[in-house]
Structure 1
Amino acid sequence: MEDIISYLAEYFIPKLLEMRLEYYKNPTSLADFAIATKEETDKLGREILQASIVEMDRLIKELPARKRKWVVEHKADGRQLLTTLGRISFSRVLYKSKTEVDEAGKPVCSYLLDNLMGLSSNQEMTEDVMANIYQEAVQTSYRKAGEEATSIEGVSKQTVKNQLHKLKFPKSFQIPEVKKVVDYLYIDADEDHYHLQFKEKRGDLETNEYGRKLNGGITKLAYVFEDIEPEAPKSNRNKLVGTHYFSRGYEQNSKEFWAEVFEYVEATYDTTQIKKIYINADGGAWIKSGYRGLADVTFVLDEFHLSKYVLKMTGHMKDSQDDAITEIYDCIRSKKKADFLEVVEKLKGCTDSEKIQAKIEKASQYISSNWMAAKYRLRKSESVKACSAEGHVYHVLSSRMSTQAMGWSNLGAGKMAHLREYYYNNGDMLELAKFQKEEMQTAAGAEEVVLSASAILASEKGNRNKMMMEYGKYSERIHSTLSLQNSKQLMFYLNGKI
C-alpha cells in the first residue's frame, strides 16, 4: 500500500492540482477538466488494483501455511487482466508442492494467487467487463458491445461472440417465500423468425427443390402475466402486471420450454386458487403440442391471426366484404362449425378463381382447427384479455434479431434469445457474469493456503504501522503541494474573467 501512497503524493495530487489550475485559467473548459480528471482517476484505480494484487501475492508468500507445503518455483510471472478501469498488469509467484504429485508423478505446480482470486488460467477479463459486454450486446450488436467493454480499451466482436456463445444461465426465476394468489393467469406465446447463416458450421444449410437455402429459424417467446392496467390513471396506454418472460431457441424443445413455464407458475402462484389459466396464441404447432398434458389451460386465439385469416377469406368480396366479415364473426361467436363451413362454401361460390378458392379453403381450415379458441376470443368474457404477443415478439426478439440484415447460427440465436429473456426479466448482468465462473479445481494441498484469507488479513494488520510511517513521510509533502495553490492564487487567475 505504500506504493499507492507514494503514487498519490508524487504524481496524482500534483497532477490533479495542475489540472485544476488549468481549469481556473479557462473556466469554460469544464468538459476538458472532467475528461482529464476521469483519465487520472482511472489511472489511479489501475494503480490501486495492481498494487493490491501484488501485495496479496507477497502476503501469500509470507504465510506459514504456504511455507509448510509449497516452495517457490518461479518468481514474477506476469499476467494481464482487462477491467472497466483499463488493462492491469501484475506478477505473481508459481509454487511447487512439497507433498503432492500429478498423474505423471511430477510435483504439482500452482499460482496460489490465481486460486485465491478465482482466476482461471485463460481468463482475460474481469466480470465487470463481461457485464458491460452483455449489457450492450443484448441491445445493439457484437461490434458495439466490444467497443463499450471499457471506456479505455475495447475488444473484438469475435471476442464478444465467443463470450456469448459459452454463456450459462441461472434458473430463470426465484421461488418466493409466499405464493401469489390471483383469480386468473394469462400466458401469451408467439415466435420470431430469424435468418440462419448456418446451423452448426458454415455450409451446412440444406436447399429446397428450387435451390433456395432453407435458412429460416425460430425463437420461442412466452410471457406470464396477471392482468392489464393503464400505465397511469388517465392514460390510454396499458401495461401488463406481474410479467415474466421465457425465450429460447432450438436448444430447448417445446415440451421442455413449456415445462419450465408451468414450473414457474407452480412455484410462483397458489394454483389451487386460480380459476382459469388462459393461453393467448396463434395456434402454432410448438405451442399446442408443448403445453398439452402439463396443465389445465384454456387456449384463446389471438385477435391478430383471427382477423388476418378472416380478411383472407373475404378479400375478393369488394363492396360486400364488411357484410361477409360480420357473418363470419357471427358464426364463430354463436353458431356451430357446420354453419361456418356453409358460409365458406358461399364465399367460394362468389369467385371463379381457383387460386382465390384455395386461399379461402386454407384460411377456413386454420379457423376450423382453432374453432373453440376463436369462440373464446369473440365471446368477450371479462376474464379473457387482449393478446399482445405480436408487439412483444417485436420488442423482445425481432428488434434485436431479425428486423435488420442479420444472420445467426442456432447456437448464437438461442443464446441471444435467452439473454433477451434475462434482460427483460430485469436480470443483473454483473451477477450473470459472476455465474459464468466455473468451479476451479484447486491444486491438492493448496486449500489450506487459498482458504486462509483471514491469515492474509492478519498479516496485513501487522504491516499497518509500516504503512502509516510511509504516509507520514509523504504527508508533509502533500500539505506543502496543496499550500502552493491557496485561494488567493486561484483568485488571481479568475480576476478579470467576471
Structure 2
Amino acid sequence: MDIITLINTLVSGLLNAEEKFLEHLDSFTMFEETVSSLSNQLAADFIGLVLTNADQLIRDSGIRKGRYTVQRSRQRTLISIVGDITFTHTLYKDQAGKNRCLLDELIRLPDRERFTAAAEAKLLNEAEVHSYQHAAESIKTNGQTITKTTVMNKVHSIEKQIPEMEEAPKEKKACEYLYIEADEDHIHRQKDGKEQGCFIGKLVYLFEGKEEICNGRRKLVSPFYFGGLYAGSEQNAALWESVDAYIRQHYDLDVLKCVYINSDGGSWIRAAAGYVSKSRLVADRFHLMKYINRVARYTLEEEGITKGRFYKYIYKNKLLAAKKLLTRIQNHCEGSDRAVEDCRTYLVGNWEYIERAFHDKYVLGCSAEGHVSSVLSERMSSRPMGWSETGSDRMCKLRCFIRNYGREKVIDLVNYRRDRELETCVATGTDGLIDERQKKKYTAKQREAQRYAEALHGTLAGNSTVRKILAIREQIGNI
C-alpha cells in the first residue's frame, strides 16, 4: 500500500458517506461518525506506512550494511490515539552479536511497548480523573485489548522521582515572602480482610500569596505542588529538601525574608523547619478552631462565651490562663476529658506558632483542607476504593504534576520514563543511518503523490454536483 492508495480509499469513503447523507439529511450523527472513523483510519494507516518506509530506508542504508546484519522482518502493532498502527520493522544483529530493532531505537520505542507515547499520555490523563476501567475504555482499538490492569501498570511505571519539566529561570524571582501549606489525606490500603488500614498521602504546595478574583474568593499566586507518600523520616526529609531546592532554584534568597509554613502541627510538617531555608512555622487557625469548639460544647455557659475567652487569652499571649480554663472545664463537665486533653496538647505544643498566626501581619489564612480535598481526596479517598502503595504514591505525584505543568505535559512525563528505560540498553549507534541521497529519493516520491492529490482535487471539484442538488431538492419537497 502507498499514499496514493490511501488517498483513493479515503476519498471514496468520504464521497459515499456524503452521498448517503445528502439522501438522508436526518442521519447527520451517522455521517459525523463515519467521517471521523475514515479520518482516523487514514491517519493510522498513514503512520504505519511512513514507519514501514523508514524501516526500508534503514535497511537500504550503506552505513547500516557496514554495521548490522539483517536477521528477519516482522510486523509490529501499536495502540495510538487514532487507532491501531501496524508497520514492518527489521531485526538486525550488531557486531557484538546482539539483536537490535534499529527503527524502534530511532523512534525511542522500548521493546514490548504496546502504546505510542501520545496514547499512553491519554491513558494517564484519563486515569488521573476517572477509574482505571474508564481510562481503558477511552481508547478505541481494532482487536487490541486494554484492561484496567494495563492502565494500572502505566500509572505504576511513572518515575518515583519526577524532574522539573521546565528549564530553570535565568533570572530568579524577587519575592520577600513565600507561603507553604501542607496536609495529608488518608488513602485506603488495598488489602484482604477487614483490617485494611491506610496510607498517608502528603500534599505540600508553595505559593507567593493570594489574590482576590471576586467577592469572597481568592486564588493562589504561582502555586507549585509536591505530593506522594514519603513514608518514614528519610523520605520525609527528601520531600522537604525538594521543596527547599525548588525555592533556591526559582527565588532570590537575598531578597527573600521569610517562608511561612502553615499546618495543623503534624510532626512530619514541623520537620520542615530543619530543611527549608528562612522558614517559620505557623498554626492553622482551622484546626485550632476545631479543638476549641470541641471543648466549648461541654461548658455549662454559652459556647460563644467560652470560645471568646480562649481567643482572648490567645490574643493576649496567656497560655497559663488558657490551661486553667481547660482544667475548670474538665473538673466541672462530665465526659470532657478527651476533648480537654487533646486541646491542651495542641495548645502547649503549638503555642508559639499559634501566636505567630494571630500577631504576624504577613501571615495568610490556610486553605490546606480544601486543597487536599480537590488535589488528593477527590480521586484517592472520596470513593470506596483501595490502593496499593505504589499506585497511591504515583497517583499523588501525577495529580500534582498535572496541576504544575498542565495535561499537555503528561506526554513529556511519558517520554522521560521511556528515555530512562532506554538508557539501560546499549548505545544505539544509529546516527546518520539514512543518508541525504535516500532522503532526496524519498522526497521525490512524496512530490509525485502531491501532484496526484492536486489532480484529484481538480477532478472532484465538480463531481456529481447535479445529483447532490437533486437529492437536496427532493428532501425539501418532502418537508
Aligned to 2:162: 170
CA deviations 1:2-47 (Å, max 9, x no partner) are: 71112212x2112111111122222333322221111001111111
Matched letter for residue 167 of structure 1: I
Task: Please say if 1:301 is aligned against 2:279.
Answer: no
Cα separation, 1, equivalents of 2:453 and 2:208: 63
Task: Please say if 1:274 is aligned against 2:274.
Answer: no
Question: Residues 184 and 226 of structure 1 are in contact (CA less than 8 Å); yes or no, is this contact kept in structure 2?
Answer: yes
CA deviations 1:276-309 (Å, max 9, x no partner) are: 2211100001111243254232211112110010
Cα separation, 2, equivalents of 1:145 and 1:279: 37
Cα separation, 2, equivalents of 1:466 and 1:413: 51
Matched letter for residue 201 of structure 2: T
TM-score in terms of structure 2 length: 0.91
Question: Residues 50 and 88 of structure 1 are in contact (CA less than 8 Å); yes or no, is this contact kept in structure 2?
Answer: yes
CA RMSD of the aligned region, Å? 2.4
The structural deviation recorded for 1:440 is 4.8
Cα separation, 2, equivalents of 1:70 and 1:255: 49
Task: Please say if 1:452 is aligned against 2:444.
Answer: no
The structural deviation recorded for 1:243 is 0.8
Aligned to 2:37: 39
Distance change (3 Å), C-alpha of 1:125 and 1:293: closer
Cα separation, 2, equivalents of 1:36 and 1:140: 28
The structural deviation recorded for 1:416 is 0.7
Cα separation, 2, equivalents of 1:182 and 1:472: 59
The structural deviation recorded for 1:158 is 0.1
Matched letter for residue 439 of structure 1: L
CA deviations 1:86-138 (Å, max 9, x no partner) are: 112222222234xx23xxxxx33322222222222211111001100111111
Aligned to 2:473: 495
Question: Residues 330 and 340 of structure 2 are in contact (CA less than 8 Å); yes or no, is this contact kept in structure 1?
Answer: yes
CA deviations 1:330-365 (Å, max 9, x no partner) are: 1111132222211112222322x2x41242122211
Question: Residues 243 and 276 of structure 2 are in contact (CA less than 8 Å); yes or no, is this contact kept in structure 1?
Answer: no
The structural deviation recorded for 1:460 is 3.1
CA deviations 1:183-203 (Å, max 9, x no partner) are: 2211111111111114xxxx6
* Structure 2: stretches of 5+ with no match in the other structure: none
CA deviations 1:243-298 (Å, max 9, x no partner) are: 11111113672111111111111111112222322111000011112432542322
Q: Where do residues 72-471 of structure 1 align in structure 2 (5 Å cutoff)?
A: 72-74=70-72, 76-97=73-94, 100-101=95-96, 107-150=97-140, 155-168=146-159, 169-172=161-164, 174-198=167-191, 213=195, 215-232=197-214, 235-250=215-230, 253-351=235-333, 353=334, 355-379=335-359, 381-427=360-406, 428-437=409-418, 438-440=421-423, 447=429, 450-452=430-432, 455=435, 458-466=437-445, 468=447
Distance change (3 Å), C-alpha of 1:288 and 1:365: same
Question: Residues 84 and 141 of structure 2 are in contact (CA less than 8 Å); yes or no, is this contact kept in structure 1?
Answer: no
The structural deviation recorded for 1:393 is 0.5
Task: Please say if 1:51 is aligned against 2:49.
Answer: yes
* Structure 1: stretches of 5+ with no match in the other structure: 102-106, 206-211
The structural deviation recorded for 1:226 is 1.1
> What is the SS of the residue equivalent to 1:28?
helix
Q: Which moved more, 1:463-472 or 1:186-195?
A: 463-472
Cα separation, 2, equivalents of 1:435 and 1:178: 26
Matched letter for residue 334 of structure 1: K
> What is the SS of the residue equivalent to 1:363?
helix
Question: Residues 188 and 279 of structure 1 are in contact (CA less than 8 Å); yes or no, is this contact kept in structure 2?
Answer: yes
Aligned to 1:209: none
Cα separation, 2, equivalents of 1:405 and 1:452: 54
Question: Residues 186 and 280 of structure 1 are in contact (CA less than 8 Å); yes or no, is this contact kept in structure 2?
Answer: yes
Aligned to 1:104: none
Cα separation, 1, equivalents of 2:119 and 2:179: 38
Cα separation, 2, equivalents of 1:463 and 1:225: 52
> What is the SS of the residue equivalent to 1:274?
coil
CA deviations 1:389-418 (Å, max 9, x no partner) are: 000000000011001101111111111111
The structural deviation recorded for 1:162 is 0.7
> What is the SS of the residue equivalent to 1:138?
helix
User: Identity of counterpart residues, as a percentage?
Assistant: 27
